[in-house]
Amino acid sequence: MLLLALAAGLPAVVTAMIMLWVGSYSAKVQWTLSVVILGGWWACAAAVRDRVASPLRTLANLLEAMREGDYSIRARGAQDEDALGDVMQQVNAMATTLREQRLGALEATTLLRKVMEEIDVAIFAFDGDQHLRLVNRAGERLLAQPSERIMNASAAALELAEFLGGAETQSIQRTFPSGAGRYGIHRSMFREGGLPHQLLVVTDLTRALREEELQAWQRLVRVLGHELNNSLAPIKSIAGSLETLVKRDPLPSDWREDTSRGLSIIATRSEGLSRFMGAYARLAKLPPPQLSAVDVGAWIRNVAILEQRIHPVLKPGPEFTMRGDRDQLDQLLINLLRNAVDASLETGGGVTIEWARVGTQLEVLIDDEGHGLSNTANLFVPFFTTKPGGSGIGLVLSRQIAEAHGGSLDLRNRVDARGCRARLILPV
């Protein structure tokens, strides 16, 4: 910029000097004017250089400060009509944005660290060489060592190397320094600085499993106690009456009839209790499905033919085969269809069956025109039933069969009409 400024003024200076020294001027005037001209020329060129260099130095200082992470410095004196002023304003705006982003990143990092410290799940991060780079408090408790001691240790030294390969999700029975139990292992990948890292999450399932086991036992005891009391209470009452009867002396004339009727009731209640225990054993001993090829269309049509009380309306669906246990699938569909028919008989409605292939899944819909569901919370509770004489195991058994095939079953009230819809999903 200095050279350009000097070059811009050079023709005028040379012309002035020639005119000054060629003209008839005294030596004093010539030297004085020469000094003034040359000094002014140099001063203007230096001013131009400084006018350009000073904002550039300021800009360089701002960028250096931002590179060092200091976003608090701002450029002053930026003018709207100046090109360099526009640059300064943009740099100031960029510094403000970077400062806000940095504060947001710091707050997010602080929150993440706080969550990792408080979360009751052990988290480990390993670099590409399987050295520990990050661990939270739960991980320290799991390994019974502080982070200062285990940081940068190898996964093999921490006895975690086996989880950094193989399946991404697994459930194991393992003894860690903190104790033995059932643990869920989940592994995932992430990148830091462009390099691959592995995140290992270890969840202690022991407490959750114990709570679920306790709840299962409580439900089992509650159901068994209810059914046993319903059967044993009348048996005990009738047995006491019969004992009182046979102790009478003399015996009443109709004692044989009363005794026979009492024993019959006892036998009936005992038989009902035996059926109840058999049904419970059936739920607990559902065998694993024996998979074979199943023609979906033929399977649904054959089951629909079995129902003679109401002939279900079949909506045509795609014809294809899938893998499944035909006997268990028959039982599943029979239970759903029977429930739909029982509900529709109360209102004189009909039953509709349709199926479709959605991606890699089979969707079977059974719609009835009954009164709908009044209590959806206990639908899949064993031995819960709203039908007189119902066993309360049909839906539970059906859902077990669906889940054993890798599918699902749910029931909900219809939104397009009165009644209920059973939705069965099975993998093709």
How far, in Å, CA of 139 to CA of 146, rounded?
9
Q: Which domain holds residue 350?
A: 292-427
191 and 159 co-located in one domain: yes
| pLDDT of res. 393 | 65
Q: For the chain, how are helix, strand and coil distributed in percent, rounded to 5?
A: 55, 20, 30
9 and 44 co-located in one domain: yes
303 and 423 co-located in one domain: yes
pTM score, whole prediction: 0.43
Strands (E), 177-312: 179-192, 195-204, 292-295
How far, in Å, CA of 159 to CA of 302, rounded?
56
Calculate the CA dihedral of residues 289, 294, 298, 301 and round it to 10 degrees.
20
Q: State the Cα angle at 68 between 63 and 70, rounded to 5°.
A: 80
245 lies in a domain?
yes
| pLDDT of res. 421 | 92
CATH number for the domain including 151? Answer: 3.30.450.20
Placement of tokens 């059936």 in the chain? 282
185 lies in a domain?
yes
13 and 33 co-located in one domain: yes
The runs of H, that is alpha helices, within 119-205 are 137-143, 147-150
254 and 304 co-located in one domain: no
54 lies in a domain?
yes
**Cβ atoms of residues 43 and 27 within 8 Å:** no
109 lies in a domain?
no
DSSP string, 279-340: HHHHHHTPPPP--EEEEHHHHHHHHHHH--SS-PEEEP----EEEE-HHHHHHHHHHHHHHH
Strands 351-358 and 408-413: unpaired
314 and 408 co-located in one domain: yes
218 lies in a domain?
yes
- Which of these three, 145, 174, 204, is where a domain ends? 204
CATH number for the domain including 318? Answer: 3.30.565.10
Report the chain's terminal Cα–Cα distance, integer Å. Answer: 77
69 lies in a domain?
yes
- Which of these three, 284, 316, 331, is where a domain ends? 284
Distance (Å) of CA 113 to CA 109, 116, 131: 6, 5, 20
| pLDDT of res. 351 | 93
Distance (Å) of CA 305 to CA 86, 286, 370, 402: 83, 26, 21, 22
373 and 331 co-located in one domain: yes
- All residue ranges of the chain with pLDDT < 70 are 77-81, 213-214, 216-217, 219-227, 230-231, 272, 275-286, 375-393
19 and 43 co-located in one domain: yes
Distance (Å) of CA 296 to CA 224, 293, 307, 363, 406: 38, 9, 18, 11, 16
314 and 394 co-located in one domain: yes
223 and 136 co-located in one domain: no
104 lies in a domain?
no
Count how many domains the chain has: 4
- Which of these three, 189, 204, 219, is where a domain ends? 204
228 and 276 co-located in one domain: yes
* Cis amide leading into 250 (omega within 30): yes
323 lies in a domain?
yes
349 and 304 co-located in one domain: yes
